[in-house]
């Protein structure tokens, strides 16, 4: 659970960069490739990550409304990426102006439960990380290289001339 807004914002910026590493590897030919009827396509996962920023922030009272609720998924990854970057910034700015460190212990209603605000911040990052991980599995299935996020990927080990860890 976060106890300082700035600690969250530092992590949020880092996680945004990690997500952008994934988004930039997705090609037009692979973005909508379905690998299984029970698995979202890469573009649907990217859009879910993007839209969840405004949906969750509105539910938590950080944004006045879910600003992407009526927005259709863009047809290109560039369009999704642009909205992702925009709303990462919108969310961060709204958070800075509305919440304080001393309020992070306060409870807010979220999805039928009460979460502490500091816990909400932890969950919004974990939610993004969870779906970003799903994206890397789909990327492997459709033949895309996977960038390293918290350490080198298989491709990056190979580029360094080292065997990938088992």
CATH of the domain at 110: 1.20.120.450
Reported as a single tens digit per residue, the pLDDT across 136-165 is 999 999 999 999 888 888 888 888 888 877
Is position 97 within any domain? yes
Q: Known binder of ligand: residue 130?
A: no
Q: Known binder of ligand: residue 51?
A: no
Is position 69 within any domain? yes
At residue 106 the predicted structure's pLDDT band, cuts being 50, 70 and 90, is: very high
Q: Known binder of ligand: residue 48?
A: yes
Q: Which range marks the domain in which residue 22 is found?
A: 5-159
Specify the pLDDT at position 55. Answer: 98
The closest of 23, 28, 27, 24 to 49, measured between CA atoms, is: 23
Is position 164 within any domain? no
Is position 166 within any domain? no
- Give the tokens for residue 84: 């992702």
Decide if pLDDT at 85 tops 90: yes
Is position 165 within any domain? no
* DSSP helix/strand/coil, 31: coil
Is position 39 within any domain? yes
* Structural contact between residues 119 and 107, judged by C-beta atoms closer than 8 angstroms: no
Reported as a single tens digit per residue, the pLDDT across 53-83 is 999 999 999 999 999 999 999 999 999 999 9
């Amino acid at each position: 659970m976060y106890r300082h807004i700035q600690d969250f914002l530092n992590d949020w910026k880092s996680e945004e960069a990690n997500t952008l590493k994934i988004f930039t590897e997705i090609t037009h030919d692979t973005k909508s490739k379905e690998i299984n009827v029970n698995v979202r396509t890469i573009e649907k996962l990217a859009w879910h990550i993007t839209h969840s920023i405004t949906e969750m922030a509105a539910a938590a009272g950080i944004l006045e409304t879910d600003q992407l609720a009526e927005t259709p998924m863009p047809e290109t990854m560039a369009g999704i990426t642009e909205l992702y970057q925009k709303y990462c910034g919108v969310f961060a700015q709204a958070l800075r102006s509305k919440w304080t460190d001393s309020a992070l212990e306060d409870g807010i209603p979220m999805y039928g439960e009460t979460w502490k605000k500091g816990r909400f911040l932890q969950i919004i990052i974990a939610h993004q990380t969870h779906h970003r991980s799903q994206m890397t599995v789909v990327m492997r299935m459709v033949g895309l290289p996977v960038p390293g996020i918290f350490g080198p990927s298989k491709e990056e080990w190979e580029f360094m001339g080292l065997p990938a860890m088992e």
